[in-house]
A and B are shown apart, each in its own frame.
Chain A
Amino acid sequence: MELRAAETPDDTAFFFTDDKGVVVQISCRAFYDDVRALGTYLLSEGFKGEHVGLLGANSYEWLVVFFALTTTGNVAVPLDARVPVQHLTQIMQYGDSRRLFYSVEFEPAMPAFSGAIRDFEGFPLKDLGEAIGKGREKLSAGDASYRDFVIDREAMCALVYTSGTTGTPKGVMLSQKNIAANINQACTNFILEGNGMSVLPFHHMFGLVVGALMVFNYRYPCYIVRNLRNIARDFQTAKPECLFVVPMVIESFAKQLKAMGRRAGGQVTPEMVKAFTGGNLRFIICGGAPLQAQYVKLFRNFGIEILNGYGITECSPVLAVNRNEDMCDGSVGPVLFGCEVKIDEDGEILARGDNIMLGYYKDPEATEKAMLGGWFHTGDLGHIEDHYLFITGRTKNLIITSSGENISPEELEDKLLLDAAVAEAIVYEDNGALAVMIYPEPEADVPECYFDALVDKMNQGEPGYRAIRKVSLRTEPFVRNSTGKIIRNL
């Protein structure tokens, strides 16, 4: 950041379309000045080693807060804006966070935070300008606290929550060294030569590290998509050379292009795709979940190469990605330079390198299990063929949606099992949506619709991607293995 401000001060670092439809360009110098001023303000306000929540849709302000926190010895705790407030307060309590930067739509939720968290302090992102202004005044008066602060690159700078295989989400502790290593490793693998467009939410490491920080490191402008519903307009403004997305976005683009073809009374043409995507799109980096091969072929026909990659939050997040000139269909590409990957005797993918997390927050047992033998155990199965990594399955029961969300079925099943009428339940994925099969308690005298209502009620407390869309009942108990565990493959 400092280097770019010095070497390319007038180049655009980030740009976005504001609420009034005006395109705002932020230069490298302006970005650094904002971060420096906010960092100075935070230090003067006693932010020292704090775990600070960051809640809101993608925005320039979000990035400024992230950089200011992580360069002043504080820990940024990115939070998923779609998670119900009750869960967010639990996550903050578990993560020892009492301060929160939030976007305006969360204003009504602030009483819930202050009610649940002792000494809670909320900072609206809409007022960030004031804090930056105060920081600037301090800088003008000679405050050198930000400049003089010595960053410990090995210390935790981000605490990122990910769905674990059991009940509570796990807090992944990442250091500056982890994240910087991953940016440098990934930048060697894939070469960007134009604007990047950041589509995925910043609370996901893929959205933040790859979608924004990597583009910044490439020295190309990064367009921030603030609301996905405006993406058609954003393409025309951003004119990206590359997009960073999850499969769900590609599936949706494919539908929109098909619709475009229908409206034109025929097939969609490369010219139509070019017009839709702003004219410069050459690459789409896709990760977070497996993508069906048909989409790679479809977009290749339009002159756009989808480069599949593979990552996991614990690896900051990228482990492998196909490259512009070195790709193999069906694989997730070559392993990143500087990162070691091996396949163990059970077929599990293990990784080692500077990008591997420090551990799980307050969970030494889970950390030890994940880092057994000095290698991070990804929980994914795969093989390496001619230096390309292929993913073949998972050792855990996590359900990965096409939007890249990890859902622990056991977590939802445990909630259902709290109801006396549910004897056994298995949550699984059915055609891209969550479904549940329930074996009712034989003694319970309830109609079938009771279970629909039960699931509907449970869904109300869940974000959309965790809602169960289909309920079916069975008349026999599930088959169990020799250790008494239900055999999940229905």
Chain B
Amino acid sequence: MLQEIIDVLEQYTDYPPEEINEDTTLIEDLELNSFDVLTIVSDVEDQYGVHISDEQIMEFKTVGDIEEFLEKNKE
């Protein structure tokens, strides 16, 4: 699953994909802004058939946070 998330993320960042891991932070490391994160979440929702609330999005700090949420909630 991590690789699938990285595949989505790498479209929005110039950060080297091979260096993205669970601990990579969305804002500091990948330099994403809050609008980027919303767009990415929209992609991820379609891909995994999940709904992610705005409150939950605020909780995502690292790539691992997204992975953990999807592991628990994917269809």
Q: Which residues of B contact A403 (CB under 8 A)?
A: 33-35
> A403-B33, A469-B27 are contacts. A262–B42 as well, Cβ < 8 Å?
no
Q: Tell me the bound Cα distance from A249 to B36 in angstroms.
A: 8
Residue A361 is within 8 A (CB to CB) of chain B in the complex: no
Residue B3 is within 8 A (CB to CB) of chain A in the complex: no
Q: Which of B11, B41, B54 contacts A263 (CB 8 A)?
A: B11
Q: Which residues of B contact A231 (CB under 8 A)?
A: 39
Q: Which of B39, B41, B54, B58 contacts A252 (CB 8 A)?
A: B39
Task: Give the residues from 255 to 271 in chain A that come closer than 8 angstroms, CB to CB, to chain B.
Answer: 255-256, 258-259, 262-263
Residue A432 is within 8 A (CB to CB) of chain B in the complex: yes
Q: Which of B28, B31, B41, B42 contacts A232 (CB 8 A)?
A: B42
Residue B38 is within 8 A (CB to CB) of chain A in the complex: yes
CB–CB B41/A470 < 8 A = no
Residue A123 is within 8 A (CB to CB) of chain B in the complex: no
B44 to chain A, nearest CB (A): 10
Residue of B nearest to A401 (CB): B33
Number of A-B residue pairs with CB-CB distance less than 8 Å in the complex they form:
49
Number of residues of chain A lying within 8 A (CB) of chain B: 25
Q: Which of A105, A230, A262, A469 contacts B11 (CB 8 A)?
A: A262
Q: Which residues of B contact A249 (CB under 8 A)?
A: 35
> A248-B33, A256-B12, A262-B11 are contacts. A228–B38 as well, Cβ < 8 Å?
yes
Q: Tell me the bound Cα distance from A259 to B39 in angstroms.
A: 12
Q: Which residues of B contact A322 (CB under 8 A)?
A: none
Q: Tell me the bound Cα distance from A105 to B53 in angstroms.
A: 10
Q: Tell me the bound Cα distance from A464 to B55 in angstroms.
A: 11
CB–CB B36/A255 < 8 A = yes
Q: Which residues of B contact A368 (CB under 8 A)?
A: none
Residue B13 is within 8 A (CB to CB) of chain A in the complex: yes
Task: Give the residues from 426 to 462 in chain A that come closer than 8 angstroms, CB to CB, to chain B.
Answer: 431-433
Residue A402 is within 8 A (CB to CB) of chain B in the complex: yes
CB–CB A230/B12 < 8 A = no
Q: Which residues of B contact A105 (CB under 8 A)?
A: 54
Residue A251 is within 8 A (CB to CB) of chain B in the complex: yes
Q: Tell me the bound Cα distance from A434 to B73 in angstroms.
A: 32
B59 to chain A, nearest CB (A): 10
CB–CB B28/A248 < 8 A = no
Q: Which of B33, B38, B54, B58 contacts A432 (CB 8 A)?
A: B33
CB–CB A251/B12 < 8 A = no
Task: Give the residues from 26 to 75 in chain B that come closer than 8 angstroms, CB to CB, to chain A.
Answer: 27-28, 31, 33-36, 38-39, 41-42, 54, 58
Q: Which residues of B contact A232 (CB under 8 A)?
A: 39, 42
Residues on B close to A: CB < 8 A?
A: 11-13, 25, 27-28, 31, 33-36, 38-39, 41-42, 54, 58
- Known A-B contacts: A258-B11, A469-B25. Give 10 more (CB < 8 A): A229-B38, A229-B41, A232-B39, A248-B35, A255-B12, A255-B36, A256-B11, A256-B12, A403-B35, A433-B27
Closest 10 CB pairs of A and B: A259-B11, A252-B35, A229-B42, A229-B38, A255-B12, A252-B36, A248-B33, A228-B38, A248-B35, A469-B28
